[in-house]
Amino acid sequence: MPWIRTVPAEEATGVLREIFDRFKIGQGRMFTPYEVLTNNGPALAAVAQLNDSVRFGPSELTRAQREMIAALTSALNDCTF
């Protein structure tokens, strides 16, 4: 849990609520790298768009290869993927 004050799910509205619904991980929390941006909606939207482009956009890598890279990176950083 981040020490920065974040916007809880029940307080999220508009675009923030939509992003929250896409990236929530349970118990009203968002995936932590995104959770710390809940006070800055435009930044959160930009990071979400970047994530979509990297993970799902056109690439010479397959979806499975990208998922493996993400899983390995998360493991090396000792974080949940």
pLDDT for the residue 60: 95
- Mean pLDDT, the chain, whole residue set: 81
Which of the four pLDDT bands, split at 50, 70 and 90, describes residue 20? confident
pLDDT at 1 over 60: no
Domain limits of the chain?
Answer: 9-76
Maximum Cα interatomic distance, the chain, rounded to a whole number of Å: 40
Element housing 24 (H / E)? strand 24-26
Q: What is the pTM of this model?
A: 0.62
Question: Considering just the CA atoms, what is the radius of gyration of the chain in Å?
Answer: 14
Count Cβ atoms below 10 Å from residue 67 Cβ, excluding itself. 13
